[in-house]
Amino acid sequence: MKMTFRYLLVPVLASFVFVGCCTTHHKTAQWEYTSVDYGNADIGNVNAALNHSAADGWTLVAAVPIKSANGEDEIRYIFKRPKH
């Protein structure tokens, strides 16, 4: 029983060593964020604004329904892009 356990333990430990040595260590990405709120806007204007943001390197992360300060329904678009 002890020999079987040892035969199983050696390959498992070896795989941890090799996987740790072979994986690359990535630098943590630094992001900048921005958000834009749209109320009862024409969908064409929203599409144009989203396309403009994408052309500037922004990626849409979320679109969240919110209430504006005057109680109107709006959508908050949250974007991110890598810091330069």
pLDDT digits (tens, 9 = 90+) for 55-76: 999 999 999 999 988 888 889 9
Which residue positions in the chain have pLDDT lower than 70? 1-27, 41
What is the rounded CA–CA span in Å between residue 43 and residue 51? 12
What is the distance, to the nearest Å, from the Cα of residue 9 to the centroid of all Cα atoms in its chain?
37
**The pLDDT value given to residue 41:** 67
**The pLDDT value given to residue 80:** 97
Supply φ then ψ for residue 54, to 5 degrees.
-65, -40
Which tokens in the block code for residue 82?
């890598």
Q: Is 50 left (phi over 0), alpha (psi -120 to 50) or beta?
A: alpha
Strands (DSSP E) contained in the chain are 31-38, 59-67, 73-82
**The pLDDT value given to residue 34:** 95
